[in-house]
Amino acid sequence: MGTRRVVTHRLRAAAIAVCALALGQTGCAVAPPLDNPLTVRRTEIENPVLVSPGQPTAESYREVFEKVIEVLDDYFELQTPNPYEGRVTTKPRVAPGYEQFWKAGNPDARQRLFATFQSVRQIATVEIRAGDRGGYLVYVVVEKELEDVPRPARATVGNAVFQESPTVDRQLEVVSPETATNRSWFKVGRDYAFEQEILRRIRQCK
């Protein structure tokens, strides 16, 4: 009986140690990172989203406009923003796949996997309008485009990508005008998961 109690006590102590180690490793990461490409159930944010509630002023509009630029600039290269137009557009960029896991911009696991094997690019447009009851309505649209070629640049069969070249093709994020003229793209819909990520960050504007 004494030996059994000792073993039981040791097993409990080991279990507590494992749990403590697991909790210690997670630290403050209770919520996933902004661009964690995992399937996470989150409350959907309305699009457009209402930010900076209250009576619209020049100062509050400037804060919202600068917040939009700040968020988009983390993912895209921007067209020249015009605050008087209330619209911010971006230049197209090649969507990162899992081979570029350190780059943000594909929060949905399926979209990220798709971009790993296909040539996909994203273009964002954000419109800012005064709300009917105060504040500003921010509308975000992220369109996806697929390269129109018989065999996309990232298309592979099995492990062919490792057999054809020593490294994975890593293209520049921003598609230059010279490159765009030699490549044809067609729209394949909107990236709603990416829109939600951008809306979530813009909504934090105070």
Q: Are 106 and 115 in contact (CB under 8 A)?
A: yes
Beta strands 120-130 and 136-147, pairing class: antiparallel
Would you state the pLDDT for residue 61?
A: 94
Tens of pLDDT, residues 107-122: 999 999 989 998 999 9
- DSSP of 113-177: HHHHHS-EEEEEEEEEEE-TTSSEEEEEEEEEEEE-SSS-TT--STTHHHHH-SS-----SB--H
Tell me which residues of the chain have a pLDDT lower than 50.
Answer: 3-11, 13-41, 157-168, 170, 172-173, 180
Would you state the pLDDT for residue 149?
A: 73
Would you state the pLDDT for residue 38?
A: 42
State the burial class of residue 86 (Cβ atoms within 10 Å of its Cβ: 0-12, 13-18, 19+): middle
Would you state the pLDDT for residue 204?
A: 81
* Number of residues in the chain: 206
pTM over 0.75: no
Q: How many helices (H) and strands (E) does the chain have?
A: 6, 6
Would you state the pLDDT for residue 148?
A: 82
Would you state the pLDDT for residue 47?
A: 96
